[in-house]
Amino acid sequence: MKTRLFLALLAGLWGTAGQSREIRLCVSDRELLPINSPTFEAPGQYLVRRAIESQGDKAVFVPLPWRRCIAGLRHGEYDGAVGMAATESFLTFMRFPEANGRPDTSKELGKLLYVAVRVKGAEADWDGDHFRGLRRPVIYNAPSLVLADKMHRLGAGNPNTSLSEEQMLSMLVAGRADIAVGRREVFEALMAGETYRDKIDMLPAPFVNADDYLTFRDVFADHSPGYAERVWSEIGRLKAAPDWAETRQRILTDRKPVNPS
């Protein structure tokens, strides 16, 4: 009887150990392609999902404003985050993929690229380090703490605004702002349309050009030795596949809904 009870308990433990986990990951509630979207599975989320599934687990994406995401990570509400740049403030409590003591860009999810634009022929400028010739506000789209922190260091912009790129271009043309900072691909699409064609200049110096990663909380990584490294290696393997560019474009076209949180 005791032997049967022991074997039953042992079998139960084995079964529990083999169960998959839900890995809860916060993502920006604003669309940041090709990294993430709150409404469909962007290429970055696809890489994360596949890599975590390779470990027998399930990725759950939780869209949040970035400041709530960071607060949740600090309090242990999430295991990691999708789309973080390796800044000093995040390195204190988050784990990034590394190679030779530096972030391993072969395992990035994508680049965060923001640019500055102005009305064509205006004097206001961004030289890569400073704004110049300003007489009216700088406005920006702020789904990213990297962007908001840089604006804060420059003493420019309002971090509490939630303007779309189209709203910002409208404000520029109406003379309510001198410079707008937002996602390059969104500005490019708007500037190609009839409303803003030949009315807006995109300044050549990028405002933010940062590699974004899947990151894990230090505590999570410490409690699951080797897990983060295996997931990051799988992301690198998927990106190195000969058909990744084709797969990436298909993902952007198909817009498969993300797993609900």
Per-residue pLDDT for 16 more than 90?
no
88 versus 83: which is more confidently predicted?
83
For strand 208-217 and strand 110-119, is the pairing parallel, antiparallel, or unpaired?
antiparallel
Q: Write the pLDDT tens digit of every residue in 115-148.
A: 999 999 999 999 999 999 999 999 997 666 778 8
How far apart, in whole angstroms, are the C-alpha atoms of residue 22 and residue 31? 23
Per-residue pLDDT for 245 more than 90?
yes
Residue 177's φ and ψ, nearest 5 degrees, are -155, 155
Percent of the chain at pLDDT > 90 equals: 71
Per-residue pLDDT for 194 more than 70?
yes
The residue type of 78 is Y
- Considering the domain 112-209 in this protein, what is its CATH number? 3.40.190.10
**Which residues of the chain are in CATH 3.40.190.10 domains?**
21-109+211-254, 112-209
| pLDDT-based confidence at residue 112 (cuts at 50, 70, 90) | confident
| pLDDT-based confidence at residue 152 (cuts at 50, 70, 90) | confident
DSSP, collapsed to helix, strand or coil, labels residue 18 as coil
Residue 97, token pair as written in the block? 């993929």
- Structure confidence at residue 56 (pLDDT): 97
- Structure confidence at residue 88 (pLDDT): 81
- Structure confidence at residue 158 (pLDDT): 75
- Structure confidence at residue 159 (pLDDT): 66
Closest by Cα among 113, 224, 122 to 165 = 113
Domain 21-109+211-254 has CATH 3.40.190.10: yes
The residue type of 240 is A
Per-residue pLDDT for 7 more than 90?
no
Q: What is the pTM of this model?
A: 0.81
